[in-house]
A and B are shown apart, each in its own frame.
Chain A
Amino acid sequence: MANETFVTIASVSDIITAREHGRNIGKALGFSSTDLTIIATIISEVARNILLYAKTGEMILGPTKNGTREGIIIIAKDKGPGIPDITLAMHDGYSTGKGLGLGLPGVRRLTDEFEIISEVGKGTTVTVRKWVMQNE
């Protein structure tokens, strides 16, 4: 993956930094303004999850490709407590923390591809891809 950007997530101001990076990468890829807002919101929510559950973590943002499709990849990694039951966590309305209980399922709805790997005691990695809408 070329031109990737790393953002350490350790405080609430890092959320805004990550959001701006995501917006810039998305703009360069030619995403619509609605998609740019969606990308910024996805970043906001996954970064918030890191702060809420793991306190610190890292985000990797960058362009990605699949054949002729171009898009953005957003990876959020932490070494936090992990999620014991991912199926449960992906249910609308489920939350253990101070969130709204729609964090991960809500984020999944905003993305094209969503992947979560979590191990209790080791941490969580969320990988999200969103493709640029192609005009025929």
Chain B
Amino acid sequence: MEVPILKQGDYLIATIQAALTDADLLKLHYALVEKVGKQRSKGVIIDVTALDVLDSFATRTLRSLAHMVRLRGATTVICGIQPEVAFTMVQLGLTLEGISTALDLEEGLALLMLSKRREV
């Protein structure tokens, strides 16, 4: 299932709606890195609220996505990591170091706007 990417002002929002295959996740990865340039976006939000599992592959893909988006001049915020998922990730030793996270979409947008204001 492909993940829709919405444009909201200077930001791109990708809401993952169901368990993704590795191929879908990689597709999202490339689509976002490209769209950041096309739409001249300043920030990307990836909403993972619906995901019940973030395994090593998904975590690594999100991490490389965030780093690539940063190299393209935008900021990534990952939002909606469920408490069970957070618990499991820590037990497993998975981290999203250096990547901004937020409780939900609203907080994610607020975080991006705050970082934009600071730059001005």
Which A residues are closer than 8 A to B by beta carbons?
A: 12-13, 15-16, 19-20, 23, 33-34, 36-38, 40-41, 44-45, 48, 92, 99-100, 102-103, 105-107, 109-110
Contact = CB atoms under 8 A, between A and B. Distances in A.
A103 B94 CA distance: 10
Contact of B56 (A37, A92, A106, A109): A106
Contact of B91 (A23, A48, A109): A109
Contacts, number: 71
Given A37-B85, A45-B55, A109 B19 contact: no
Interface of B is mostly: helix
B98 interface: no
A102 B93 contact: yes
Contact of B53 (A34, A44, A100, A102): A44
Interface residues of B, number: 22
A106 B93 CA distance: 6
A73 B88 CA distance: 18
Interface in B90-107: 91-94
B21 A102 contact: no
A110 B93 contact: no
